[in-house]
Structure 1
Amino acid sequence: MRLLIVEDEMKTGDYLKQGFIEAGFNPTLCRNGLDGHHLAMTEDFDLIILDVMLPDVDGLRIVKALRQAERHTPVLLLSALDTVDDRVRGLELGADDYLVKPFAFNELLARARTLLRRGQLAPQSDRLQAADLVLEVAKRRASRAGKKLNLTPKEFALLELMLRRAGEVLPRTLIASQVWDMNFDSDTNVIDVAVRRLRSKVDDDHVLKLIHTVRGMGYKLEVPDDDAC
């Protein structure tokens, strides 16, 4: 799961990042509101953990901007402000939960997992895109630079998984369980063959390559920074 943590207090930010890594998450840490706002608006995360009192763009403004842009990523606010009015304001602006500092990490972790479970039950986006690659889930249609891609059902499912978790390294075990509904057998190369075939359809005719091998770890779909919109 991809988490965005926006926290300007250095020790607190490092503590949260390490805690979520140890809990099996993939956290990105931003130490100011400007960078946090940019990432929250331009990248896909499963959850955003957001400090309210930031020195540049405060957390409440970021929540408001996200909801006005119809980005519905779950947001958990962190703040030393503990009045009822403060909590109500954050929730009314669109935050999903509010935790007052100081707090126990175990409580934060439990609340994060609750929000993530809720998010998994919410409707997922029907149109997925990375650069000029577009996937229309309901129509079962895929295209690159406006040209239709002829994908098998498994290739379509694999590409959907990669787009929904763009930028994240997907281990072969995860791909096997999500696309083939099976346990990964290290003696078989079915995953590697499937990714190779999908990559040939998605990338071979294009200078910009989107599907990448991460040696010893798995695969990911990612738009290089220089080409990101």
Structure 2
Amino acid sequence: MNVLLVEDDERISNFLMKGLGEIGFQVTLAPTGEMARELIATYEFDIILMDIMLPGIDGVQLTQIIRFKKNYTPILVLSALNQPDDKIKMLDIGADDFLSKPFHFEELISRINALTRRNKLSYQDSSNVIICGNITLDNDLHTVMQDGKTIDLSPTEYKLLNYLFENKNKVLSRTQILQAVWGINFDNTTNVVDVYISYIRNKIDETEQKIIHTVKGTGYLVKD
């Protein structure tokens, strides 16, 4: 496991590097966002562990830079900022999971394993191009096209639509969608799934053909 740790607190970084190293992980430390940016441009990592409050380029800006560069290495945010708005913002701009400080080391390892396992399965099992109706989703280019027109989606919107397309012609419950897109530890009482479905519907044209169907009392269905 090749890990990039972006953390400016020496006490925390020493603890994590020691603990992760003891279980066989190769950890590279970047105490600033600028250093992390250079390392990410030069080397490949299995996962990025990132604080939000960093000197110079902060975690929000760094995540945006990483995703803008079409780098989809899993990002696990480790932050003392634990308000729902902080978590939603980071997940929306492209982070994959959020763990509030302080945390148990065992939970960190579980989150790392879950994210890297999910990422590997995604590369192994997902079709590069998925077509549903007049919409084409290309996982190599990370683009969504409808009748030749590009549909601009946020990272979370893309992840949600991709999950729906991968499971087309199958009814998915809100809980299934929430766990697959936002992670198993996200608040399952939230209406974030409905909100993001609405975002996507506002961006795609369903006048000729209905793509995303609401299944009352259950969840959503994409029909081919």
1:79 pairs with 2:83:
no
How many Å separate the matches in 1 of 2:89 and 2:42?
25
1:110 pairs with 2:110:
yes
Cα shift readout 1:117-168 (whole Å, capped 9, x = no counterpart): 01111227x9xxxxxxxxxxxxxxxxxxxxxxxxxxxxxxxxxxxxxxxxxx
Q: CA deviation at 1:40?
A: 1.8
**Where does residue 11 of structure 1 map in the other structure?**
11
Q: CA deviation at 1:56?
A: 1.1
Q: Which has the larger radius of gyration?
A: 1
Q: CA deviation at 1:105?
A: 1.1
CA contact (8 A) 1:78 1:100 kept: yes
**Where does residue 119 of structure 1 map in the other structure?**
119
Equivalent position amino acid for 2:31 in 1: R
Cα shift readout 1:44-92 (whole Å, capped 9, x = no counterpart): 0000000110011101111111111110000000111111100000000
How many Å separate the matches in 2 of 1:82 and 1:57?
20
How many Å separate the matches in 2 of 1:66 and 1:46?
14
1:37 pairs with 2:37:
yes
1:20 pairs with 2:20:
yes
Q: CA deviation at 1:32?
A: 1.3
How many Å separate the matches in 1 of 2:90 and 2:123?
24
**SS of 2:98's equivalent?**
strand
Equivalent position amino acid for 1:25 in 2: F
Tell me the number of residue pairs that the alignment of Structure 1 and Structure 2 aligns.
125
Identity %: 42
Structure 1 vs Structure 2 CA RMSD? 1.4
Cα shift readout 1:16-62 (whole Å, capped 9, x = no counterpart): 01111111111111111110121123310000000110011101111
Unmatched tracts of structure 1, length 5 or more: 127-229
How many Å separate the matches in 2 of 1:107 and 1:100?
11
How many Å separate the matches in 2 of 1:15 and 1:118?
26
Unmatched tracts of structure 2, length 5 or more: 129-224
**Where does residue 59 of structure 1 map in the other structure?**
59
CA contact (8 A) 1:41 1:71 kept: no
Task: Report the TM-score, using the length of structure 1 for normalisation.
Answer: 0.53
* 4+ runs deviating over 3 angstroms: none
**SS of 1:123's equivalent?**
helix
